[in-house]
Structure 1
Amino acid sequence: MRTLICTLLFTLCAAQASAGDREQLQQKLDAFLAGAAGDADVHQRFWADDLIYTSSSGKRFGKEVIMQGLEAAKGQPVTASYRAEEVDIRLFDDIAVVAFKLVGEDRSSGEPETSHYFNTGTFVKRDGEWRAVAWQATKIPAEDN
């Protein structure tokens, strides 16, 4: 009986921890996308220092390149916004895979131009903080949106 109670308590605690981690990751993703178009602090907190990022154009780089790009764009008007749809968060202890459909809207030409990407991020929880260590972005062809 004691073993059964311990097992039930462990299962309940693990389920609550998983729900909390999912909520943290969803909030982290939402906050990131809300500030992704130019807020260097948002990027600093989102990406791990040892990030491997593969862009939709097939280029691979790390956090340093992202941060340099933000620094170079500093002071320019923000004309893009982003949101996540169809978010799927899968937890594996202190590792998580977050897959979603990214919807980007660019208003730099005056008329909104919408693009769609499949994004998959791998997060590691270090010192209680989730950080993206790997990222893959794939542009969805317009006919498949």
Structure 2
Amino acid sequence: MAGKHIDAVRSLEAARFSAMVEGDVEQLDSLLADGIHYVHSNGKRETKEQFLGALSSGRRRYRDIEIQAQELRQFGDTVVVTGKLYVELETATGSLASQMTYTAVHVREADEWRLISWQATRTASDS
């Protein structure tokens, strides 16, 4: 049973990153919990409304998100994802391309998995 939930959350992670690149705010709205704490790699925390608003207004555009590593662990109705990403994005203050490590926490609410917490940290370059 746990494997089924892990697979579901793994699929939702891929769908969320794809929706971020496509700017699909409607899809993201269904994948994010209303009470999400979304902490970007620069330390800025956003609510669901702030995160979706930045995408829908064009203030933030994700150009590419590539999953490089992922580990998922289930604890009851919670799945914790730790991983590494390559992210390219454009914001009002410029563009960014970097490796990131992240922790994502998904909770099951009314039989639907939703992201409740996100924290990303830029990884120092290997060079």
Per-residue CA deviations over 1:18-47 (Å, capped at 9, x if unaligned) read 110011011001111122121102211221
In 2, distance between residues paired with 1:116 and 1:42?
25
Question: Partner residue of 1:31?
Answer: 15
Indicate conservation of the 8 Å contact 1:30/1:83, yes or no.
no
Shift of 1:61: 1.7
Shift of 1:79: 6.5
The verdict on how the C-alpha distance between 1:40 and 1:93 changes in structure 2, with shifts beyond 3 A counting, is same
Question: Partner residue of 2:66?
Answer: 83
* TM-score relative to the length of structure 2: 0.85
Question: Partner residue of 1:59?
Answer: 44
Indicate conservation of the 8 Å contact 2:62/2:87, yes or no.
no
In 2, distance between residues paired with 1:135 and 1:122?
7
- Counterpart of 1:18, as a letter, is A
Question: Partner residue of 1:6?
Answer: none
Higher strand residue share = 2
**Counterpart secondary structure, 1:142:** coil
Higher helix residue share = 1
Runs of 4+ that moved beyond 6 A: none
Ranges in structure 1 where 5+ consecutive residues have no aligned partner: 1-16, 108-112
Question: Partner residue of 2:93?
Answer: none
Pairwise CA RMSD? 2.2
Q: Identity rate of aligned residues, in percent?
A: 26
**Counterpart secondary structure, 1:43:** helix
Indicate conservation of the 8 Å contact 1:116/1:140, yes or no.
yes
Q: Which has the higher contact order (CA 8 A, sep 6+)?
A: 2
Question: Partner residue of 2:105?
Answer: 122
Query: Whose Rg is larger?
Result: 1
In 1, distance between residues paired with 2:52 and 2:88?
21
In 2, distance between residues paired with 1:80 and 1:92?
33
Per-residue CA deviations over 1:86-128 (Å, capped at 9, x if unaligned) read 1100000101101110112459xxxxx7411111111110111
Ranges in structure 2 where 5+ consecutive residues have no aligned partner: 91-95
